[in-house]
Amino acid sequence: MRAPDFDLLRRQMVRDQLVERGIRDPRVLEAMGKVRRHLFVSPEHQPEGYEDRPLPIGFGQTISQPYIVAYMIEQLQLPPEGKVLEVGTGSGYQAAVLAEMGARVYSVERLPALARQAGQRLRELGLRATEIHVGDGSGGWPEQAPFDGIVVAACAPRVPDALVKQLAEGGRMVIPIGEAFSQSLTLVERCPDRIRTETLCGCLFVPLVEERDDPLPG
């Protein structure tokens, strides 16, 4: 059986799943055209690595579909070399896209095994503008705040106050808000005189587990 042409599949992904669905930020499109998504899933799922759907990465977690990754990052409107907090490292794919765009990425993952695997993968790919911390993502990473952007890859019942406080002025956060089967991707922006929120679209993410919840094994 002939091996998939991953370069061709990645170009098709960018064209059909991103450009055709309205993603316009050239930095996002360029980065997602470079980062090899198939390397961020388990070997048995690599042939499916560029399909328009989430894929399992173990521990009950998934890698988001390419369009959602692109859309969330585009909504951040990051400045060049912006500083980003990612809540939910997962396999490291979103962090890789952000780093490829030139961002400085600080990523929090509650599962030590996923954090180790993602860190090793990012180092092997030469994407060293990333730091991964094992901990409760709902509390953010206050020691590294403020952030130009915060992207949360898990659903919370409400916007965590701790994350809002870690946004720089003009900074933007994209986070899924809601319950298990009723979620909305939400934009939170720190304006000079207020915190602005906007509902973007429906979505479906795994729940954001806070420190008081039982951790999964690592």
Q: Which residues belong to the active site?
A: 64
User: Contact at 8 Å (CB) between 155 and 178?
Assistant: yes
Q: Which residue has the tokens 């409400």?
A: 158
Half-sphere exposure of 209 (CA within 13 A, CB side): 14
Which residues, in sequence order, are CB contacts of 167 under 8 Å at separation 6+?
146, 147, 150, 173, 188, 189, 190
Q: Which residue has the tokens 């979103």?
A: 94
* CA 168 – CA 157 distance, rounded (Å): 23
- Angle subtended at Cα 156 by Cα 112 and Cα 71, rounded to the nearest 5 degrees: 90
Q: Which residue type sits at 94?
A: Q
Q: Which residue type sits at 34?
A: K
| Number of helices (H), then strands (E), in the chain | 6, 9
* CA 14 – CA 143 distance, rounded (Å): 35
* CA 35 – CA 196 distance, rounded (Å): 32
Instruction: Specify the DSSP class assigned to residue 181.
Output: T
